[in-house]
Chain A
Amino acid sequence: MTASIPPVGAQRVRGRRLRTRYDWSAYLYLIPALGFYLVFLVRPVVESLWISLFDWDGITPASWVGTDNLVSVLTDPAIWNALGHSLVFIVFYAIIPIALALFVVAILARVKVRGLVFFRAALFVPYILSSVVVAIAWRWIYALDGPLNAVLRAIGLGSFARAWLGDFNTALPAVGFIGTWVMFGLAFVLFISGLQNIPLELFEAARIDGAGMFREFFSVTLPSLRGEMRVALVLMITAALRNFDIVWNTTAGGPGSSTTVPSYFIYQEAFTIHQVGRASAIAVLMTIFILCVIGLVMWLIRDRSDSVRVRGTR
């Protein structure tokens, strides 16, 4: 590790020279993007934080309530209930699609498949479809007289037929599975492109060393896909935690409150009940929560290549 880094003194000299030449003009190029970022991303975030400290209906003058909104959100069992559903969605939106995609990729690493390009495109389609379209299509699939129940009845499992989105026991997994269907294509495409970047020599070396399918997967494929996995997890966990469109268009949080999610309450509070302060408080807390979860995931799958190399040279 130390060998690859030039002496500190040398770097400083070079750095100083570079700075006198480039620094300020380089920052000029950043201004458009930075300005856009500040106005359309940072400012709304800061404003939400500010609004969350007020009791405000969105129109008439607001009154300062300090952290009352944040406390009322944190002590609201309905919000915790909704957060629990979001955690279930992480399983369906991130863990299951990644596991499935890894499984398929592990097979593809050993078996040549004709028409891979076609499959890759076809499996990616759900991800680029409008979520409202996806939701309406699945509402039809899950309906009492929809195709899913028709298949069940045709194979003699008619007793399992039900209105999948209207049943307290099945609504949450049914909504979650839509996420699995959408996200699988993304994970698959990411991992396939990652797989193609692994040098063939690694597989050859592993096979010469007598590695079987499992050993090859865990020693070569999986570690090489760490970068892709990180991207996939960040995208999918974020999608799971801020899920609103699919829930709103399939169950609207029902039956009862069995599929509510925090974003559902943000929408309700902001647009139906006109409690903009409390809506902002939920949004702020959700943002912090998502950042924490993503940070944890990034840390868990951080690049450990340095330590691997050290161990290798020992």
Chain B
Amino acid sequence: MMQSSVRTPHTRAGRRRSRALASIAVCSAALLALAGCSAPGGTSNQNSAIKDPITAPVTAEQVKALGNITLNVWADQGEQELMKSIVPAYEKEFPNVKVQIQFKSFNDLTATVLNAMNSDTAPDVTQGNQGWATDGALVKAGLIRPLDDVVQAYGYAAAAGAAASQLKWSSDGKTFGSGSFYGMSPDNQMVGMFYNKTKLASLGLSVPTTLDELKTALAKAKAAGEIPITLGNSDKGSAMQAFSVVQGGMTPAADTVGWVTGKSGSDFNTATNKQALDLWASWAQDGTISPGYDGTSPDDAVAAFAKGSGVFYLGGNWQAGTISDGSTFGFAPAPAGAGNTAASNGSFGMPWHISSKSKNTLAAIAFIGLINGPDSGHYLADVNRVPVQLNGVQVADPMFTDLINASKVQLANNGALYYYDWSTPTMFDLFTSDLQEVMAGKLSSSDMLSAVQKNWTDFQAKS
């Protein structure tokens, strides 16, 4: 039946088909016209005038003039604990404002924040993420307000020091690391070494402060049948951060930071980076790093370490929530290498931004001012996060004391290296995938380094 109707187009079925085809053609043309006539994307809304500039911290009277309002906030779910104390304090000081927070997982937040901030119902305040993919895109699209006046009024610039460069952009979003402040972040997050005190003591070792001491400690731990380094890398990013402990000990931090922030002429494909990569890969292959790391989630690895598996865990100080027992565990900054360099990945926490579309800019400034202001340190310390502003912070817990001291040492030495993947929007994927392959012996370190540098050069040439 169907076959015959195809062959004889004069039947009704055949005509109906050609009519259907015609109507599909008409509809598609109409849809193309509907969807298509203009290029996607609205007009650029570069706000040259800064809304409600301030010269001193926002007062309750100024906010009161806004009437009864709701302040809409987007935040990472890791902020939940901190917000439990910040929000009541804020609503007490500014009683006409009700704070409404939406918490998102890190991946959800970074994947959707750009579209949310571009929508007509953009939140007044949001967290972003340093680097081109999120903060750079927000600045480029003119969606967040420059904060130079806020940073001055709340005494933040002095406390942040040189590390402030991670919050700075040119107003067209094309230069990272200099220009205006676009975000503020209250805490210092860094990668370092968690160590098991009990195991170090039974191996007769002290906490390594140089790369050579670390190598000796790892070899001794391995000989004694311990797992020297516990690692979980199913997220692909954890090995990259752990590797920075080695890389930061071999390559001067200023070179790496320059490369990450796109300083022209920077090169990652260097002899010291190759040495670092080869050393790191040899640890993956000779069993210094726990087996099955690519199939283990970082959360599982941290939990295993906290239960006594492994001598070292190289990771972020934010894992102190799980590795919290200060009587068994300690935290130390990255060990120093031959050139007396000592650095590792790290940055401030996810920066807070104010929407350039906000109708309640003063209330928004008051909110991030409370989080980042000179007297905010105790709120962070209460939830075991290392504050940038240390005024009046009291510390009793031994693990938290380690975190504060490590942060001081890191910032006094060479500072943080930031993160390699900030360098280009596609770097996370490339760096982490290639690092997995180098660790598995499937890719040479020099091939990885030239691929990484090529990605960087291509991106710099484009922007």
Contacts and interface: CB of A to CB of B under 8 A. Distances in A.
B88 interface: no
A62 B294 contact: no
Contacts of A268: 429
A165 B428 CA distance: 20
B39 A306 contact: no
Interface stretch (A4-12, A88-96, A281-289): A4-12
B442 A168 contact: yes
Contacts of B234: 139, 165-166, 251-252, 254
A143 interface: yes
B294 A54 contact: no
A55 to B, nearest CB: 10
Contact of A58 (B10, B41, B428): B41
Contacts of A276: 40
Interface size class of A (residues with CB under 8 A): 35 or more
B42 A61 contact: yes
A64 B293 CA distance: 44
A46 B31 contact: yes
Interface string B36-49: 10011111100000
A194 interface: no
Interface in A32-90: 38, 42-43, 46-47, 50-51, 54, 56-64
Contacts of B36: 46-47, 50
Interface in A132-164: 139, 142-144, 162-164
A274 B440 CA distance: 30
A168 B300 contact: no
Given A254-B436, A256-B433, A50 B295 contact: no
Nearest to B441: A168
A46 B28 CA distance: 8
A257 interface: yes
B227 to A, nearest CB: 12
A254 B294 contact: yes
A71 B20 CA distance: 33
B57 interface: no
Interface size of B as a range: 35 or more
A16 B248 CA distance: 83
A204 interface: no
A273 B426 contact: yes
Nearest to B12: A15
A54 B40 contact: yes
A266 B452 CA distance: 22
A60 B294 contact: no
Contacts of A46: 28, 31-32, 35-36
Interface in B264-310: 291-297, 300
A43 to B, nearest CB: 5
B357 interface: no
Interface string B396-438: 0000000000000000000000000000011011001110110
A271 B114 CA distance: 9
B1 interface: yes
Interface stretch (B65-73, B135-143, B207-215, B382-390): B135-143
B101 interface: no
A54 B36 CA distance: 11
B140 A255 contact: no
Given A56-B41, A142-B295, A251-B234, 12 more contacts: A38-B31, A58-B41, A60-B44, A62-B39, A171-B295, A254-B294, A255-B295, A272-B111, A272-B425, A272-B428, A272-B429, A273-B426
The 7 lowest CB-CB distance pairs between A and B, nearest first, are A166-B295, A163-B295, A163-B292, A166-B294, A15-B12, A144-B292, A271-B111
12 contacts: A11-B12, A50-B40, A62-B39, A162-B295, A163-B296, A165-B234, A166-B234, A166-B295, A167-B294, A252-B234, A253-B429, A256-B440
Interface of A: 1, 4-5, 8, 11-12, 15, 19, 38, 42-43, 46-47, 50-51, 54, 56-64, 139, 142-144, 162-168, 171, 251-257, 268, 271-276, 306
